[in-house]
Amino acid sequence: METIQVAIANASYATALRELLARNAGWRILSVEAPDPRIEGVIVVDCQSLDGLPSGFENPQRVVLITPNEASHLAKAWEAGIVSVVFEDDPINTAILAIMAARLRVNKAAPRSEMAPGKAASRDQFNAGPGRSGGAH
């Protein structure tokens, strides 16, 4: 089960977001005051919660920032390495899409050891390639 931490001060926005996210039984939604970057998964924050994250935390591409369309907030996101920014007045479905994209980035960045068995080719299979011994061609 994948974890999504939601740390948004706007209670009505946070509630609507959690209700939409809860429709997917494969996600564990955590409402938190301060997100914990040690917990794997996606982190959804507003500017206030972003300020509480440690600088230089690992894997900032898993963060979705919900923010006003103001240059200072966008600069903070850029400096932190956040690639998913949704404006507060955007439709909530835009935030859902950004969360899904961040989730895909998290899964793509997962170490090979976490991949399901049989999904990755072995080094021998890769090295065998066309015209080399070690496999059918």
Supply the pLDDT for residue 58: 83
pTM above 0.75, yes or no: yes
> Does residue 135 form part of some domain?
no
Residue 62 lies in a domain: yes
Number of domains observed in the structure of the chain: 1
Residue 107 structure tokens: 């899964």
**7 in Cβ contact with 36 (< 8 Å):** no
pLDDT score for 40 = 92
Predicted pLDDT of residue 107 = 81
Positions in the chain short of pLDDT 70:
110-137
Residue 11 pLDDT: 95
Could you read off the pLDDT of 79-104 as tens digits, one per residue? 999 999 999 999 999 999 999 999 99
Please check whether residue 37 lies inside any domain of the structure: yes
Residue found under tokens 């072995």: 122
Structure confidence at residue 127 (pLDDT): 44
Considering the domain boundaries, does residue 76 fall inside one? yes
Residue 132 lies in a domain: no
Amino acid 119: pLDDT: 40
Task: Provide Rg for the chain, Cα atoms.
Answer: 19
The per-residue pLDDT for 74 is 93
Q: Is 56 domain-assigned?
A: yes
Q: Order across the sheet with 42-46: list the strands.
A: 27-31, 2-7, 42-46, 63-67, 84-87
CATH of the domain at 69: 3.40.50.2300
* Half-sphere exposure at residue 15, Cβ-oriented, CA atoms within 13 angstroms: 3
**What pLDDT is recorded for position 110?**
66
96: containing domain: 2-112
| Cβ-proximal residues to 88 (8 Å cutoff; 6+ apart), any chain | 10, 13, 66, 67, 68, 69
Length of the chain equals: 137
